[in-house]
Amino acid sequence: MLKKAIFLLSISAAFCAQGASLLTESELEQIKQVKEQYNNTTELKELTEVNSSIFTYTNQTAQLESAIIRGKKTYHEFQLKMSEEMLSGTEESTNYYFDSMKKVSKEIKSDQEKIKTNTALIAQNKKKIDKLNDAIRESNKIYNEKLTSLKENAVSRIKKEFASPIPIKLNGKLKCSPYQSIRECFENKQTNSKLVNDAIASRFGQINIKSNVNKFNVDSAQMDYDGNVTYNVSFNLFVQYNEDINVQIIKEIGVESFDVKLVSNQAASFYVNGLPVGEGVNVMVKIPKGQHSILAKYNGQQESTVQNITDAVSLTYNFES
């Protein structure tokens, strides 16, 4: 039975463990509460509905304007025919032409009133959009400030923890040669690195860890005749805080931003949460993780979407020329 062994190792590796987190349960709960409190779901849903209403009113107005143009043309045609008939003295269809002109004129006036109503409704909804975007921007500001504060606290805690050796205990099974002793198996560099890597992966997850290990103790170990070893080991882990750890914390907390490409078939003006971010057929903008209102405008037309940004993405908006 091997009771104790002492090694000095330097480990630098990338790990792919699932479920490991650098954050404490308390920190994860705080993040969850902040995200629930500032998710903007109600405002974004209302924003989608208001933009849809503007789109509907704008289309209706365009249709009404076309109907008015057609109506004025029809009115003019009836007017010419009635005038010709009155000049010829027949006047057989004069009443028909007059009634038709009266009907068309009434329809034109009705369509003009509807346009006035739609224009007023569009103006009202645009004011609603401004208020909603103001609320979303303020909420996002507080949201990012709170998450940034949590991130700074987590970094401070982890750096403080890394200033001292981290005690690690590990148990499991490994395969050794039945022709070597347990001591020889654990003194093997490949075996030793595997145990340390497993311990780091279970503790830190998918990040590159640079660390030193000393006082590697094999507290207990048993080997069967096939070389299968059941073990309990403990050691002190000295971890260097690096950019990979920082990136992992940012990812876990959700304060990362992504490059978003806004593409249009026309030189459009783009807005994110009501603020202008650029003009053209290809606009690059960095947007924080989360849900955002994106609006594209071109030549009186507009297209609006609510996007949940979780990665770099390209968004396309098409307009009639």
Could you tell me if 14 and 43 lie in one domain?
A: no
Could you tell me if 53 and 106 lie in one domain?
A: yes
Confidence class of residue 22 from pLDDT cuts 50, 70 and 90? confident
What is the structure's pLDDT at 214? Answer: 57
What is the structure's pLDDT at 16? Answer: 36
Residue 46 CA to residue 75 CA, distance in Å, equals 42
Q: Spell out where the chain has E strands.
A: 8-14, 166-175, 208-223, 228-240, 257-272, 275-288, 290-298, 301-309, 313-317
What is the structure's pLDDT at 98? Answer: 92
Q: Give the contacts of 110 (CB within 8 A, at least 6 positions apart).
A: none
Tokens describing residue 39: 């998710």
Could you tell me if 143 and 109 lie in one domain?
A: yes
Confidence class of residue 301 from pLDDT cuts 50, 70 and 90? confident
Predicted confidence (pLDDT) at residue 51 exceeds the cutoff of 90? no
Could you tell me if 262 and 280 lie in one domain?
A: yes
What is the structure's pLDDT at 279? Answer: 95
Q: How many CB atoms lie within 10 A of CB 21?
A: 14
116 within domain boundaries: yes
User: Which one is predicted more confidently, 21 or 53?
Assistant: 53
Q: How many domains does the chain have?
A: 3
What is the structure's pLDDT at 151? Answer: 95
Could you tell me if 264 and 187 lie in one domain?
A: no
Average pLDDT over residues 113-133: 94
What is the structure's pLDDT at 168? Answer: 82
Q: pLDDT digit string (tens) for 211-258? A: 566 567 888 989 898 889 998 888 887 878 888 888 889 988 988 899
User: Which one is predicted more confidently, 57 or 164?
Assistant: 57
Could you tell me if 135 and 74 lie in one domain?
A: yes
Sole residue written with tokens 């034109």: 108
Average pLDDT over residues 300-314: 89
297: domain CATH number is: 2.60.40.10
End residue of a domain, out of 109, 125, 154: 154
Residue 147 CA to residue 152 CA, distance in Å, equals 9
Could you tell me if 200 and 127 lie in one domain?
A: no
Question: Chain-wide mean pLDDT for the chain?
Answer: 85
* Whether the Cβ atoms of residue 48 and residue 128 lie closer than 8 Å to each other: no
Could you tell me if 243 and 224 lie in one domain?
A: yes
21 within domain boundaries: yes
Average pLDDT over residues 6-21: 44
State what percent of residues in the chain have pLDDT above 70.
Answer: 89
Average pLDDT over residues 40-46: 89
Average pLDDT over residues 192-208: 70
State what percent of residues in the chain have pLDDT above 90.
Answer: 45
* Whether the Cβ atoms of residue 200 and residue 13 lie closer than 8 Å to each other: yes
Could you tell me if 196 and 147 lie in one domain?
A: no
Could you tell me if 28 and 168 lie in one domain?
A: yes
Could you tell me if 23 and 93 lie in one domain?
A: no
What is the structure's pLDDT at 212? Answer: 62
pTM of the predicted protein model: 0.71
Average pLDDT over residues 99-123: 96
What is the structure's pLDDT at 193? Answer: 78
User: Which one is predicted more confidently, 8 or 171?
Assistant: 171
198 within domain boundaries: yes
End residue of a domain, out of 201, 231, 250: 250
Closest CA to 168 of 220, 230, 222, 232: 232
End residue of a domain, out of 129, 154, 179: 154
Write out the residue range of the structural domain in which residue 185 sits. Answer: 8-36+164-250
What does DSSP say about strands 8-14 and 313-317: parallel, antiparallel, or unpaired?
unpaired
2 within domain boundaries: no
Could you tell me if 73 and 140 lie in one domain?
A: yes
3 within domain boundaries: no
